[in-house]
Amino acid sequence: MSPVTWNPLLAGTILVLALGDPTAACSCAPQHPQAAFCQADAVIRGRFMGVTQLSRNISSQESMPWIRYEIKASKIYKGSETLGDIRFVDTPALDSLCGYQHPAPLKGEEYLIMAMRQDEHLTVSACSFLRPWARVTPRQRRGISHAYMGGCACNVVPCNSMPCVLSSDDQCLWTDGLLDRRWAGPQAQRLACLPRPSQGASQTNGLFCTWETLKSGVPGSLLKAAQTTE
């Protein structure tokens, strides 16, 4: 079972294609960092170093503008086994296709980058999980380094309005958006949806997933150092 029900690159209204309305706005579904991690083909910490304009053919007579960002990775959390050395991520140049526009100066602060593989390229969009590393909480860093991978068989289900109902034991209800439409509450910042043995059920009945508090894994006196090196 897929850990989430949307593709970060195709979330929201990316179905507005190049032949559609070029002024259409991009709308993105909420992403819990665990769901984004599990769906991503590559998870990288690194800096945006350069940018190049590209053109890709979408038919024999038409092409689409793309942007290629050069990345200098300081750590690869996911994808190195299948993708090898990760140096570039591509994105549509059109806002109507949810193209990603890097908001910070090149060669600046480090970013957490979660990218999808499309053909032979890694791609990101305005709907992808991209954050300045300084804004990634210590518990989220723990999830990226250790815990999230273990929960990829679980499903994080956003609750947009009450009542919300779970349909299976492998789901965790994500309710941060009920109080904060940025979906940046405690479940996103401190929790992971992880499998646990189902009480009174046999293993053939499937997974039982529940929210678990992520540990920073670092003594308090070393927390500041961990925030810059983890």
Task: Give the residue from 81, 102, 134 where a domain finishes.
Answer: 134
Which class for 169: exposed (0-12), middle (13-18), buried (19 or more C-beta within 10 A)?
Answer: middle
Same domain for 48 and 74? yes
Which class for 167: exposed (0-12), middle (13-18), buried (19 or more C-beta within 10 A)?
Answer: exposed
Rounded to 5°, the CA angle 157-143-7 comes to 40
Give tens-digit pLDDT for 26-43: 889 999 999 999 999 999
Neighbour count for residue 207 (Cβ, 10 Å): 19
Rounded to 5°, the CA angle 49-131-104 comes to 45
Q: Is the pLDDT of residue 199 over 60?
A: no
* Tokens linked to 127: 């709907």
Same domain for 111 and 171? no
pTM of the predicted protein model? 0.79
Q: Is the pLDDT of residue 115 over 50?
A: yes
Chain centroid offset of residue 83 CA: 17
Same domain for 130 and 153? no
Domain count, the chain: 2
Q: Is residue 21 part of a domain?
A: no
Same domain for 85 and 173? no
> 14, 26 in Cβ contact below 8 A?
yes
Q: What percent of the chain has pLDDT over 70?
A: 78
The answer to the question of whether 193 is labelled as a binding residue is no
Give tens-digit pLDDT for 181-193: 889 999 999 999 9
Give tens-digit pLDDT for 52-87: 998 877 666 788 899 999 999 999 999 987 777 889
Domain around 150: 138-225
Whole-number pLDDT of residue 219: 45
Give tens-digit pLDDT for 138-186: 999 999 999 999 999 999 999 999 999 999 999 999 999 998 888 999 9
